[in-house]
Amino acid sequence: MLVTKQPVLRRFWYAILPMQMLDDGPQPFTLLGEKIVLWKKADGSPAAVRDRCCHRTAMLSKGFVDGDHIVCGYHGWTYDCSGACVRIPQQAADAAIPPGAQVPAYHCVEKYGYAWVALEDPLRPIPDFPEETSGRHRRILQFYQRWGTSPVRMMENSFDNAHFSYVHKANFGLFDQPQPAGYRFEETDYGFEAETLVPIRNPPESHRITGTTEPVTHRHLVNRYYLPFGRRFGCHYPASGIDHVIYNCATPIDDGSMMLAQWLYRSDTEADCPTQALIDWDEAITKEDREILEATDPDACIDARRRVEVHMASDKPGLIIRRQLMALLEAHGEREVHG
């Protein structure tokens, strides 16, 4: 599916970049093929407009921030967060700003340590992640990486237990037990919830992660899929009682790439398991996923009527994702578009 050709995808929120990146000034990003620029206003909240000055088409991300406004670095034309030009230094102070002097602006808010953007009026709010306000969990921003694959592929892989024994055989995968654990599914208004109990290998380097020294332990997973490209990896280690809950937003850059925004909630303390150890462990796993997904065709076919894989129960999550994406497109008068 070519994500840039599906207008309805513009009506969802995407995690664009960590808020601290805006401390260095305006930042460019390409979302669904659209070049945008984000900056931090005087109150610390983010704003986003098209990354193109309406004067001589210079990239506004090459400019600078002045209070709540972004200033073009070419001639100093200044824009507010609604995209309206509010100052043209070259004209008299009492002269009116031409009515067409403006650029498109986008919905932009801060949540979970990220600046989020929706290119058009969003169909749904940003998902509520209860760990953020539970009082029991610490939040760790883990990864912000550009991947050469599609968000459809990434979402399918996120719920695919069958790849553990092969892609992750170097760390937690049980190579001699390739039969994946089954899921309990419940479809929801936002996507679905999938619950399972997965046995995993627990080498010494993961003892602080799992909270146990058992050579083989279990993950109780309550995972969620959020339309169109978000997921919760809701891992609980029964042997230790530790929560290891990951949220991903597979933010679509263009038809062949995405940005992985990933943050983690842990129910233990820094003394129990240091932040860097958690980042290093998940980074090794994420690297394996990235390498195999970048070896697939990013133009993923989501139409389950044309590519049916029901011969294996482990393909069920991917089929549900494809069916729900197709239903989303059809509900808005769209169809799947391929290259």
Please give the single-letter amino acid code of residue 48.
Answer: A
Q: Chain-wide mean pLDDT for the chain?
A: 91
3-118 against 130-331: fold identical: no
Q: Which comes out higher in pLDDT, residue 12 or 198? A: 12
- Percent of the chain at pLDDT > 70 equals 94
State the pTM of this model. Answer: 0.92
Contacts for 270-277: CB closer than 8 Å, 24+ residues apart: 270/138, 272/208, 272/211, 273/208, 273/209, 273/211, 274/208, 275/140, 277/208, 277/209
User: HEC string of 50-65?
Assistant: ECCCCCCCCCHHHCEE
- What pLDDT was estimated at residue 301? 65
Fold of 3-118: Rieske Iron-sulfur Protein (2.102.10)
Band of the pLDDT at 174, cuts 50, 70, 90? low
Band of the pLDDT at 311, cuts 50, 70, 90? very low
Band of the pLDDT at 319, cuts 50, 70, 90? confident
Helix-, strand-, coil-residue percentages of the chain, each rounded to 5? 25, 35, 40
Beta bridge partner(s), residue 223: 194
Beta strands in 163-286 (DSSP E): 184-187, 191-201, 216-226, 230-237, 242-254, 257-266
* Rounded distance between C-alpha atoms, residue 301 and residue 152, angstroms: 9
CATH of the domain spanning 130-331, picked from 1.10.3720.10, 3.90.380.10, 3.40.50.1820, 3.40.50.720: 3.90.380.10
Q: Where are the domains of the chain?
A: 3-118, 130-331
- The predicted model gives 49-71 an average pLDDT of 96
In the predicted model, is pLDDT for residue 310 greater than 50? no
